[in-house]
Amino acid sequence: MVDPLVAPVAGVVELAAAGHRLEMAREVDDVAVIAAESALEILGASSAALCRIAQDTCRTIAAAPPSRDVREVLFTQGSLRAEQRPALRALISDRASWRADVTDPLSDAVEVGTLRDVGGTSALGVPVVVNGAVWGQVTATRRAEGRPFGERDVAAAEVLAGLVAGAIARVDLEGQVRHLVADDPLTGLGNRRIADSAADHALASGQETCIVMCDVDGLKRVNDELGHDVGDDLLRSVGDVLRRITEELPGSTAGRIGGDEFCVVTMGHHRADVQEVVSRIVAEFPLPHGAAISYGLASTAVTGAVPARTLFRRADAAQYRAKRARARLRQLSLPPQADPAVTAERMLVYGTAALGRASAGVVARLCAVAAGAADVLGGGEWSVLGRLDGGEPAVVARGGSPADLGSDAVLVEGAYGTWSVGVGASSTAATGDAVTTALQALVAVAVLGAA
C-alpha cells in the first residue's frame, strides 16, 4: 500500500473539505454520497464510487456523477464476486490498493477489460477498513482525455478512504447507541422515552392527537404453561400487530411502555379513523396461544389541550375499562368453585394484616389491600384507580403478575369515594356479593385511615 504521506499537497484542501463534510454525516448513505463526490473532485476522475464488500461480493452504494451510459450503469449497479476479480480478491485478503490502465500490459486483465467495456482508460481501487476489517472500497475511473492514475493518486485515495472509514465507524456506533437508547430490544418498537417524545411532538403540532394504550391478555398464562421463550415470542407478535397499525396511520409511533403494556401515538388522524384501524388490525391478526390485546383510546378532540401524561392516563383508563367489561362477562359465565363466605373472611383477615404493615398515605394503603386481596383470589393482577384531576378514574398503581382477565380470570372491584380497587380473581376462586362487600369494606378502611 502506498504511503499516504506522499499525497500531493494540491489535494490537502479538498481532503480537508471532505473530512468536514464527513463529520456532518449521520447515516451510511450520506457517507457514501460524500465519499463518491469527494473522490471525483480530489482525483480529477471521470467517475467515482463507494462500494460495500460483504461475503466476498462488492456492490456499489453511491456513484458520482450519476451515469447515463447504459454500460456503466450496468457495471456500477451489479455485484462483483472476488473469485472473478483478482484485484478485488487481493484488496480483500491483503488490503492492497490496485490500479489498472488500458495501455499498461502489466495491469490486471479483468479490470482492463471492464475499463474497455465502459469506455474508460484508467481505474483505481483502495480499501476502506473499518474496525480492522475490509468494509468496502473507493473506486475511480478516468476516460481517454485524462492521464493514467499514478501512485500519488492512490495515496490521496487512501487518505480519503481513511476519512470515510472513520465516518462509517462513528455513524455505526451512533446508530447502535440510538438503538440501545430508543428501541425495546425484544420487539424493536420505541421505548417509553420515544413514546413520550412522540406525544409531546404531536401535542405541540396543534393537530388532533390520539393515544392508544394496549395490554396483553394471557401473557402470564403463556409464560406459566409454555415458558418465557414462548412469552417473548408472544410479545414480538404484539409488536408486529402494532407495526401494522402504524403503517396504516402515517406519522404514528408505536412503543412498548414496559412488561405487557404498549401504546400507539398518532398525530393528525381523527379518533374514529384510529379506532377503526386499531379494531380492524387487532381482529385481522389475532395473537397466538389464545392471547389477546385489550386497548383503550384517548383523543385531544375529546379531552382538549391536556399534557401528554394526562392523555396517557386517560387512554390507560379506557383500556382498563375495556378489560373490566370482558372480565365481567367472564364472571357471569363461571360458577363459584369455593364458599364465598369463607373467601370473604380470608380476604378481611389478609387485608387487615396488610393494612397494619402498610406505609402512610392512601395510595400505599390501597396497594396493600389490593395485593392482599389478590393473594386470596389467586388472580395475581391488581390495580388502584382514583380521580386525581376530577375527571374519569385513572390507574394510579398496578401490580402483581399480569393475569388473563379475558379468559381464565375474573375481576372483583371495591370502591369508596373517589378511589377504587380492582383485583384479578382466578376462575376457581369464589366471588359474589360477600367477597365484593369484603373488598369494599377494606377499601373504605384504607381511605378513611389515611385521612
Q: Is residue 335 part of a domain?
A: no
Q: Which among 330, 359, 385 is the end of a domain?
A: 330
- The predicted model gives 17-39 an average pLDDT of 91
- The predicted model gives 35-60 an average pLDDT of 91
The helices-and-strands tally (H runs, E runs) of the chain is 15, 14
Q: Are residues 154 and 222 in the same domain?
A: no
**Most confident by average pLDDT, 283-287, 317-321, 353-357:** 283-287
CATH of the domain at 109: 3.30.450.40
Q: What pLDDT is attached to residue 13?
A: 85
Predicted confidence band at 377 (pLDDT cuts at 50, 70, 90)?
confident
Q: Is residue 218 part of a domain?
A: yes
Whether 421 shows a pLDDT value over 50: the answer reads: yes
Q: Is residue 187 part of a domain?
A: no
Q: Are residues 315 and 369 in the same domain?
A: no
In the chain, the percentage of residues whose pLDDT exceeds 70 is: 85
Whether 4 shows a pLDDT value over 50: the answer reads: no
Predicted confidence band at 7 (pLDDT cuts at 50, 70, 90)?
very low
Predicted confidence band at 274 (pLDDT cuts at 50, 70, 90)?
very high
- Domain count of the chain? 3
The C-alpha atoms of residue 84 and residue 101 are separated, in whole angstroms, by: 19
Q: Which among 303, 330, 357 is the end of a domain?
A: 330
Q: What pLDDT is attached to residue 337?
A: 54
Whether 34 shows a pLDDT value over 90: the answer reads: yes
Strands (E), 65-174: 79-81, 98-101, 122-130, 133-142
Say which residue, 85 or 401, is predicted with more confidence.
Answer: 85
Predicted confidence band at 334 (pLDDT cuts at 50, 70, 90)?
very low
Q: Is residue 393 part of a domain?
A: yes
**Most confident by average pLDDT, 170-184, 196-210, 398-412, 418-432:** 196-210
Q: Are residues 43 and 163 in the same domain?
A: yes
Q: Are residues 118 and 77 in the same domain?
A: yes
CB atoms within 10 A of CB 22: 22
Domain region containing 309:
192-330
Predicted confidence band at 74 (pLDDT cuts at 50, 70, 90)?
very low
Q: Over the chain, what is the mean pLDDT?
A: 83
CA distances to 8, 16, 177, 266 from 192, in Å: 52, 41, 16, 15
Q: Are residues 326 and 352 in the same domain?
A: no
- The predicted model gives 307-321 an average pLDDT of 87
Strands (E), 26-177: 47-54, 57-64, 79-81, 98-101, 122-130, 133-142
Q: Are residues 45 and 170 in the same domain?
A: yes
- The predicted model gives 176-200 an average pLDDT of 76
Tens digits of residue pLDDT in 199-237: 998 999 889 999 999 988 888 888 888 888 888 889 989
Q: What pLDDT is attached to residue 134?
A: 93
Q: Are residues 254 and 277 in the same domain?
A: yes
Q: Are residues 313 and 413 in the same domain?
A: no
Cis amide prior to 65 (ω within 30 degrees):
yes
DSSP state of 290: G
CB atoms within 10 A of CB 227: 11
Q: What pLDDT is attached to residue 144?
A: 73
User: Cβ distance 442 to 350 under 8 Å?
Assistant: no
H runs (alpha helix) in 183-227: 192-205, 219-226
Tens digits of residue pLDDT in 91-144: 999 999 999 999 998 999 999 998 888 888 999 999 999 988 999 999 999 987
Predicted confidence band at 341 (pLDDT cuts at 50, 70, 90)?
confident
Lowest mean pLDDT among 46-50, 234-238, 264-268, 333-337: 333-337
- The predicted model gives 140-151 an average pLDDT of 85
C-alpha cell at 312: 396517557
Q: Give the CA dihedral 295, 223, 286, 216, nearest 10 degrees.
A: 0
Predicted confidence band at 9 (pLDDT cuts at 50, 70, 90)?
very low
User: Cβ distance 6 to 30 under 8 Å?
Assistant: no
Q: What pLDDT is attached to residue 372?
A: 82
Whether 176 shows a pLDDT value over 70: the answer reads: no
Whether 157 shows a pLDDT value over 90: the answer reads: yes
Q: Are residues 210 and 106 in the same domain?
A: no
The C-alpha atoms of residue 162 and residue 227 are separated, in whole angstroms, by: 49
* 180 phi and psi angles, rounded to 5 deg: -65, -40
Q: Which among 112, 147, 182 is the end of a domain?
A: 182
Lowest mean pLDDT among 178-192, 282-296, 322-336, 382-396: 322-336
Q: Is residue 168 part of a domain?
A: yes
Q: Are residues 203 and 348 in the same domain?
A: no
Q: Are residues 259 and 366 in the same domain?
A: no
CATH of the domain at 245: 3.30.70.270
Q: Is residue 323 part of a domain?
A: yes
Whether 332 shows a pLDDT value over 60: the answer reads: no
Residue 382: partners with Cβ closer than 8 Å, 6 or more residues away: 367, 370, 371, 373, 374, 398, 399, 400, 421, 422, 423, 424
pTM score: 0.45
Q: Are residues 240 and 351 in the same domain?
A: no
Whether 330 shows a pLDDT value over 60: the answer reads: no
Q: Is residue 92 part of a domain?
A: yes
